[in-house]
Amino acid sequence: MKSLENRVALVTGSTSGIGLSMARRFAMAGAEVVMNGFGDPAEIDKLREEIAEAAGTRVHFVPADLSKGAEAQMLIKQTIAICGRIDVLVNNAGIQHVANIPDFPDDKWDAVIAINLTSAFHTSKIALADMQKRGWGRIINVASAHGLVASAGKAAYVAAKHGIIGLTKVTALENAKSLITCNAICPGWVDTPLVRKQIDARAAAQSISVEAATKQLVGEKQPSERFVAPEHLAELALFLTTEAGGSITGSAYTMDGGWTAQ
């Protein structure tokens, strides 16, 4: 039997990058999966069908703008309405904005905090009520190396990611006696559109090639000098959903090529 058979898993921000890898991996492990995120509706539908066909499981897409608390709560309610329950929730959707504090636009601060931190409160609030009925659940919050250490220019992101590790610990403690766990995953650099924007900005600012900017960006923080693979993060997330992962709760797992070991 596949480890997520008869389980329902929702991954926020799963139309791209890390979330997409996790949605794919959970489906291959037998879960009925709910995808969410922005993108071209036709392309999202193609992705959804492709994953469903490869995995032989049901895959749904539920749109929600997670910068809005009411939509984040509605996403969980719709998941439960469609699938009957929610067993695994991955709070993954995230955005980045880079600027020093005096120049940091107020609306960007609000958006980064809303999407990267507050949405996880809203989704967890509704999902936990459902998980508590059965006494089983897995919540995985995708934080970052920036949940543990800081970088200049990333005030909102670092605050949100440190915050979500705090939320992870409280969620874990409130549910510790049941089989509901909550953990954070802290990736280092992963080659996704979120990071590509930063590489392109660096290449433009320094008039260097994209290749040189990539090498500089990754090498500066990540001793491995290699990107972390989204598929490897998906394997870690999958492990946390297994019965063997059941005693792990309130933890923040790094997969960062040595970034936070320094």
The residues annotated with a catalytic role in the active site are 157
* Residue reference for tokens 């559109």: 193
Shortest distance in whole angstroms from residue 133 CB to ligand NAD: 26
Pick 5 or 110: Cβ nearer ligand NAD: 110
Shortest distance in whole angstroms from residue 184 CB to ligand NAD: 10
Pick 31 or 66: Cβ nearer ligand NAD: 66
118 touching ligand NAD, by CB under 6 A? no
User: Using CB under 6 A, which of 98, 159, 195, 255 touches ligand NAD?
Assistant: 195
Query: Binders of ligand NAD among 223-252, rule CB under 6 A?
Result: none
* Residue reference for tokens 């059941």: 246
Radius of gyration of the chain (CA): 18
Number of chain residues interacting with ligand NAD (CB under 6 A): 28
The answer to whether 91 touches 139, Cβ cutoff 8 Å, is yes
Shortest distance in whole angstroms from residue 64 CB to ligand NAD: 6
Pick 80 or 165: Cβ nearer ligand NAD: 165
Pick 116 or 249: Cβ nearer ligand NAD: 116
User: Using CB under 6 A, which of 10, 18, 76, 158 touches ligand NAD?
Assistant: 18
Pick 38 or 239: Cβ nearer ligand NAD: 38
Shortest distance in whole angstroms from residue 177 CB to ligand NAD: 29
163 touching ligand NAD, by CB under 6 A? no
Question: What whole-number distance in Å separates Cα of residue 179 and Cα of residue 136?
Answer: 5
Comparing C-alpha atoms, which of 90, 85, 23 is closest to residue 54?
23
| Backbone angles phi and psi of 140, in degrees to 5 | -120, 120
Comparing C-alpha atoms, which of 40, 42, 41, 44 is closest to residue 14?
44
Task: Please report, for the chain, how many H helices and E strands are present, in that order.
Answer: 9, 7
208 touching ligand NAD, by CB under 6 A? no
Strand order in the sheet with 252-255: 59-61, 32-35, 8-11, 88-91, 136-142, 179-187, 252-255
Question: What whole-number distance in Å separates Cα of residue 140 and Cα of residue 52?
Answer: 22
DSSP state of 227: P
Pick 131 or 190: Cβ nearer ligand NAD: 190
165 touching ligand NAD, by CB under 6 A? no
Over the window 24 to 63, marking each residue x when it contacts ligand NAD by CB under 6 A and - when it does not, the resulting string is -------------xxx------------------------
Alpha helices in the chain (DSSP H): 17-28, 41-55, 69-83, 106-113, 119-134, 155-174, 193-206, 210-221, 230-241
Residues at the interface with ligand NAD (CB under 6 A): 13-19, 37-39, 65-67, 92-95, 115-116, 142, 144, 187, 189-190, 192-195
